[in-house]
Amino acid sequence: MLATTTRSITDELAELRAAAAELHDLGRIVELLGWDQETMMPAKGIGWRGQQQSTLSGIVHERLTSPRLGERLGSLAEAAADERSPLSDADRGLIREVKRARDRAVKLPTRLVKELAEATTQAVATWQRARAESSWTSFQPDLTRVIELKREVAEAVGYAGEPYDALLDEYEPGATAAGLSEMFGRLRADTVALLEKIRLSGRPVDRSVLEREYPLDRQWQFGETVLGWMGFDFEAGRQDRSAHLFCAAIGPGDVRLTTRLSERDLGQALFGSMHEGGHGLYEQGIGEAVQRTPIGQGISLGVHESQSRLWENCVGRGRPFWQFALPKLTELFPRQLAGVGVAAFWRAVNRVEPSLIRVEAEEVTYNLHILLRFEIERRLFSREVDVADLPRLWNETMASTLGVEPPNDREGVLQDIHWGFGLVGYFPTYTLGNLYAAQLWAAIGRELPERDAAIARGELRPILGWLRERIHRHGGTYLAADLIERATGEPPNPRYLTEYLTAKYGQVYGF
């Protein structure tokens, strides 16, 4: 009897894997079309692309909501709950994630899925034009449509607390607005206290070394060199330019990064490349056991962001990195960097100053940008405010939170592409990524006591090896909190971020 049951589970699991592989492939095709739209697609292709995305989204939705898949998941979910069943952790993770996706999808009519895909494709193209022209009125109608559809999604999916929870759960399973609000409130208080110490330190940081004229071709060369040091495999990936930085993962052997360059901001392209490179390394490191399945990717956006922030900030803005990298950079820019020492350069890349643009913000104020967006999104979905109110609300909140006010919509409410894509509930995962990254960095330091000395010699592969073993290879096998606990020995703990920032910026500013 047990043998028959085992064979049945094996057969059903094989059928689930086949269905999951097809869903994965369709999702990666959608990802590829999105990458093409951001980097290569002619402007007149937008209407066709919207229809293509709509068609593919409809097919994915129909496959995911098929009765046959539901039947397979029903029996497999029972087996997964039985500790005596011969299922591996990866099998259980696969069953859990396909069931979670299906449970969400069956609540959404195909009509809504297709309308949202077409609306967001159009909204992204409109955002690109509106941002270039700093024209909120150009973007408002498209965004209004997207938000209306996302409100439909929230109501269809359902929620226990507030509508925003239904959207947040898509990107960070299990998270709630109320829970994040409590955590973010503590972080805000810690950040404000740290900013006050920096203000009173009496040791201003000069950033002008980063604002000299740096030819773009050599910036590009250095960025790709650094990606190579990190371990990014260019035979399994590439880097291109786009207005919005992102990483598109078509598969572990095809990971595409984008960055943007500024001739008078040396840090923009470099740290953008390191950030997206962290995402790319995660995708290239997905283990064979979970590839081509819904768990063949990061389990949550917070965990994914932890990888990008760890490489960008913990490594790239660390003093040991510049002990090795600055001489190499000076070879490319001898005139601009003549006489610049490691300490001065390291302090320059870590200057703290409230700014308008999230992606250009340093570590201390970055999370305040996220809290601003989190609060606006919650109010938008509780219907306290509407889309038409966003420019005013944005400017007021920037002034009260960061002490700066945008001079135009391009540097204000239009600076992020996320809402055009319909990515509501996405922003909080950036701060969760910072929290996870600080905890992972502390664990790496404990287990690799020569970490900083190795970085100063240009040896970054031990860090990648640790992340490969503890995070990357598992993909989405374990939920975020479980994965962080397995990697570090304790559940997610926000104190590590406060301790990391306080220690680092105490050195930068001498307190």
> Is the same domain home to 29 and 150?
yes
Identify any residues that bridge with 258 across adjacent strands, giving them in sequence order.
240
Where among 125, 158, 191 does a domain terminate? 158
pLDDT digits (tens, 9 = 90+) for 334-344: 999 999 999 99
Residue 196 CB partners (closer than 8 Å, separation 6+): none
Closest alpha carbon to 93 in 289, 379, 268: 289
> Is the same domain home to 227 and 120?
no
pLDDT at 418: 95
Tokens standing for 442?
């502390």
Sequence letter at residue 177: A
Where among 123, 158, 193 does a domain terminate? 158
Which structural domain, as residue segments, surrounds residue 437?
Answer: 177-509
Residue ranges in the chain whose pLDDT is less than 70: 1-7
β-bridge pairing 237-241 and 247-251 = unpaired
pLDDT at 108: 93
**Contact in structure between 259 and 223 (CB atoms under 8 Å):** yes
pLDDT at 6: 59
pLDDT digits (tens, 9 = 90+) for 115-139: 999 999 999 999 999 999 999 999 9
Q: Which residue has the tokens 């391009």?
A: 410
State the DSSP H helix or E strand holding residue 346, giving kind and residue range, or none if neither: helix 342-348
Distance CA(171)–CA(28), nearest Å, equals 17
Active site residue 276: yes
> Is the same domain home to 16 and 112?
yes
> Is the same domain home to 374 and 464?
yes
Catalytic residue among 276, 283, 362, 363: 276
Question: Which domain CATH number covers 311?
Answer: 1.10.1370.30
> Is the same domain home to 141 and 269?
no
The sign of the CA dihedral 187, 274, 298, 491 is negative
Is residue 168 a part of any domain in this protein?
Answer: no
**Counted domains in the chain:** 2
Sequence letter at residue 76: L
